[in-house]
């Protein structure tokens, strides 16, 4: 849990260089690591679909989303509700984060998704 908290703080404080946080592999690694950490560190069973949905809700809470981003996010939330298995569920959240422009926008999306995942617990 400490790792996940420090990961979120590092992103929020800008101590992870944008080039690292913006790459597809880096986003995937951070989301999967966060989900695994939450799952491994909580006594109660963690519902992965709910965890990833909270990540999508974190993106929705960002505010300045275009109409097309809102539509894509709504579609992703519907798809998340139907997805079965860790990888397909994680991939939906990851692909939504990757829709944001590389750099500060994607970093902000990643931070928002991680915060949303943490707020769920």
Cβ partners under 8 Å of residue 41, min gap 6: 1, 4
Spatial distance between the Cα atoms of 6 and 65, rounded to a whole number of angstroms: 27
pLDDT value for 28: 92
Nearest CA to 81 among 46, 56, 118? 56
Q: How many domains does the chain have?
A: 1
Write the pLDDT tens digit of every residue in 7-66.
555 555 555 555 454 578 889 999 999 888 888 887 677 788 888 999 999 999 998 888
Please give the residue range of the domain that contains residue 89.
Answer: 2-119
- 74: which 2 tokens? 């709504």
């Amino acid at each position: 849990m400490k790792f996940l908290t420090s990961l979120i703080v590092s992103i929020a404080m800008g101590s992870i260089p944008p080039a690292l946080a913006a790459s597809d592999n880096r986003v995937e690694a951070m989301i999967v690591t966060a989900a695994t950490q939450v799952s491994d560190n909580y006594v109660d069973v963690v519902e992965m679909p709910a965890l990833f949905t909270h990540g999508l809700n974190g993106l929705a809470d960002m505010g300045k989303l275009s109409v097309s981003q809102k539509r894509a996010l709504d579609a992703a939330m519907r798809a998340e509700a139907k997805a079965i298995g860790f990888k397909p569920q994680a991939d939906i959240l990851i692909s939504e984060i990757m829709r944001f422009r590389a750099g500060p926008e994607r970093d902000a999306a990643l931070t928002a998704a991680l915060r949303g995942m943490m707020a769920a617990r």
